[in-house]
Structure 1
Amino acid sequence: MATLSLETIRKSFGDTQVIHGVDIDVADGEFIVIVGPSGCGKSTLLRMVAGLEGVSDGEIRIDGLRVNEAEPMDRDIAMVFQNYALYPHMSVAENMGYGLKIAKTPRAEIDARVGEAARLLQLEPYLARRPRELSGGQRQRVAMGRAIVRRPKVFLFDEPLSNLDAKLRVQMRLEIKQLQRALGVTALYVTHDQVEAMTLADRMIVMNAGRADQIGRPLDVYADPQTAFVAGFIGSPPTNFLPTARFGGPEGAQMGIRPEHLTLCEPDAGRVAGRTLSVEPLGAETLIHLRLEDGGDVTVRQDGAAPVPAEGAAAGLDWDWAQAMHFDADGQRLRR
């Protein structure tokens, strides 16, 4: 277990800067998720911690020790990749113990560590199998087992669940969280999936075009986004945005309101009116998509048992102004 510190980390490729000064202190045993869309710099940031990319400026410290120039093998980290990176000709046990074998760890200790990890990951019945004989979830467990036997100071996860189907992703999310808690290891996890970020993270880093737009606990980020980007990215369905000029506000500014904070009403009784484009009944909740009379689409989330307008029907929208978020023309949160 270890602390991890990123101090004003920057990365440039030639004259193009792709990481613009990220700062975070990660506590011993903390689970940090780096989340953002494709191309935002999240994997580049992880690869710099791993030592697979050089740091252009700033410092990376593991347990207080600067590791900028250290080789990946000397950083005492273990990485779990999206594609598992298993050796197809080796058994599960051989794959899990290979790093220890290369490090000339005694055979008895390798067997003990592999056995311990296999019990933790429920892989004992599969130790003699080859990767091709395993399911996707089992292969991911083997990849995690290979990391566990290293007993690293820091775990790094690079979109490890991207190749799994939806049901298995939910199961593996739970297993990763339980595993990290059981081991008490510090973890840095990269994903583009905001549901993974919300459910796994102690704190999350929301990346936007190479910048950390916001760092905080998942529910705090959801409830109090600091930028329009964060408000729109974290939450599903995403936040609705309306120009504040529609309500007498400044040009270029936006009001954001989450779908669950909108209420359907009669067309002439709401703050704005529109027509229903489509209705998505999801069981416990229903999503209603509307097109407003003066332009723009919005989504309303309501209880699944509540009545809904027919497609094409006119409807009004109302909301509590206390739930509305306001952002300036640059997307920064405005406080009242």
Structure 2
Amino acid sequence: MATVSLSQVKKSFSKTDVIHGIDIDIEDGEFIVIVGPSGCGKSTLLRMVAGLETVTSGEVRIGGARVNDREPMDRDIAMVFQNYALYPHMSVFDNMAYGLKIAGTSKAEIAQRVETAAKLLQLEPYLKRRPRELSGGQRQRVAMGRAIVRKPSVFLFDEPLSNLDAKLRVQMRLEIKQLQRRLGVTSLYVTHDQVEAMTLADRMIVMNGGVADQIGAPLDVYANPATEFVAGFIGSPPTNFMTTDLAESNKPNAVRLGVRPEHMNIATINPRVSGTVLYTEALGAETLVHVQLPDGNIVTVRQPATHDLPQEGASAGLSWSDLDEMVFDESGRRCD
């Protein structure tokens, strides 16, 4: 196990800057999730920690040692990829053992490590099978087992669940979290899925255009987003936004106001703003009501399931508490 430290880490391709200076100190055994939309630089950041991309400037430290100039094999890390990266002609046992064989580990030690990892990942019945004989979830377990047997100081996960169906992703999220807790290995995990980030992370780095917009514990980031981007990206359904001249705010420099769907209510008396119901989504225990406001923004109201919700095309008044408002300035930063 080891700490990981990034100090003003930047990356440029030719004259294009893609990572604009990331600073974070990751504690031994901490699970960090790097989350953001496609093209935000999250995988590039992970690959710089792995040594698969060079660092243009700044410093990467693993276990206190500067690793900018070290090859990936010399950084004591293990990486789990989106596409599993398994050898199709090898058995599960040989796939998991391959890195140890290359490193010259004894046969007895290899057998012990693979058997231990297989038991941990419930892969014991499949050790003689080829990858094509396994399900997607089982293949991902093999890829994780290959990383575990190396006993690295740091695990790096690059969108490992993207190829799985929704139900299996939920199951594998739980397994990865439990596995990381059991092993206590420092982990960096990249995903575009904010639900994965919220459920897995001790802390998360929310990336936006090569910048870490916010770093913090999931619930802290959710409750207190530092920017309009974070407020809109973290949370499902996302935060509702409207102009402050429509919903008045007394905060200086405020130009946009945000309210989460669960904090809005359909109001028949003294609404703060009114709009037109576009459509509703009945989800069982709750219903989402989508309302278009006079400023053109469409907001979502999360309501308990009920039969007296407004009909499509009807006018709907909306209300919320001042305590649930988030206001942002022209740059998108919070100003409350």
Cα distance per residue 1:165-212 (max 9 Å; x no partner): 000000000000000000000000000000000000000000000000
**Other-structure match for 2:106:** 106
Q: How does 1:32-111 map to 2 (within 5 A)?
A: 32-111=32-111
Q: CA deviation at 1:30?
A: 0.2
**Other-structure match for 2:30:** 30
- Alpha-carbon distance in 2 for matches of 1:294, 1:207: 29
Q: CA deviation at 1:251?
A: 8.0
Deviating more after overlay: 307-316 vs 20-29: 307-316
Q: Is the 8 A contact 2:246 2:295 kept in 1?
A: no
**Other-structure match for 1:289:** 290
**Other-structure match for 1:141:** 141
- Alpha-carbon distance in 1 for matches of 2:253, 2:146: 55
**Other-structure match for 1:223:** 223
Q: Is the 8 A contact 2:253 2:329 kept in 1?
A: no
Q: How does 1:185-334 map to 2 (within 5 A)?
A: 185-248=185-248, 253-266=255-268, 269-305=270-306, 307-334=308-335
Identity %: 72
Q: Is the 8 A contact 2:43 2:158 kept in 1?
A: yes
Cα distance per residue 1:9-30 (max 9 Å; x no partner): 0001111111011000000000
- Alpha-carbon distance in 1 for matches of 2:230, 2:253: 21
AA of the residue aligned to 1:195: V
**Other-structure match for 2:162:** 162
AA of the residue aligned to 2:257: M
- Alpha-carbon distance in 1 for matches of 2:318, 2:248: 18
Cα distance per residue 1:264-307 (max 9 Å; x no partner): 012x6311111211111111221110112342211001122474
- Alpha-carbon distance in 2 for matches of 1:294, 1:123: 56
SS at match of 1:238: coil
Q: CA deviation at 1:136?
A: 0.2
**Other-structure match for 1:172:** 172
Q: CA deviation at 1:252?
A: 7.3
Cα distance per residue 1:35-90 (max 9 Å; x no partner): 00000000000000000000011111011000000000000000000000000000
SS at match of 1:180: helix
- Segments of structure 1 that go 5 or more residues without pairing to the other structure are none
Runs of 4+ in 1 over 6 A off after TM superposition: none
Q: Is the 8 A contact 1:245 1:251 kept in 2?
A: no
Q: Is the 8 A contact 1:7 1:60 kept in 2?
A: yes
AA of the residue aligned to 2:22: V
- Alpha-carbon distance in 2 for matches of 1:321, 1:239: 15
TM-score (norm 2): 0.97
- Alpha-carbon distance in 1 for matches of 2:280, 2:170: 26
Cα separation, partners in 2 of 1:121 and 1:242, compared to 1, 3 Å = same
AA of the residue aligned to 1:26: I
SS at match of 1:333: coil
- Alpha-carbon distance in 1 for matches of 2:322, 2:263: 10
SS at match of 1:182: helix
Q: Is the 8 A contact 2:231 2:238 kept in 1?
A: yes
- Alpha-carbon distance in 1 for matches of 2:247, 2:202: 38
SS at match of 2:232: helix
Q: Is the 8 A contact 1:243 1:251 kept in 2?
A: no
Q: State the Cα RMSD in Å.
A: 1.2
AA of the residue aligned to 1:188: L
Count of matched residue pairs: 334
**Other-structure match for 2:124:** 124
Q: Is the 8 A contact 1:244 1:251 kept in 2?
A: no
AA of the residue aligned to 2:222: Y
- Alpha-carbon distance in 1 for matches of 2:217, 2:123: 33
Cα separation, partners in 2 of 1:294 and 1:33, compared to 1, 3 Å = closer
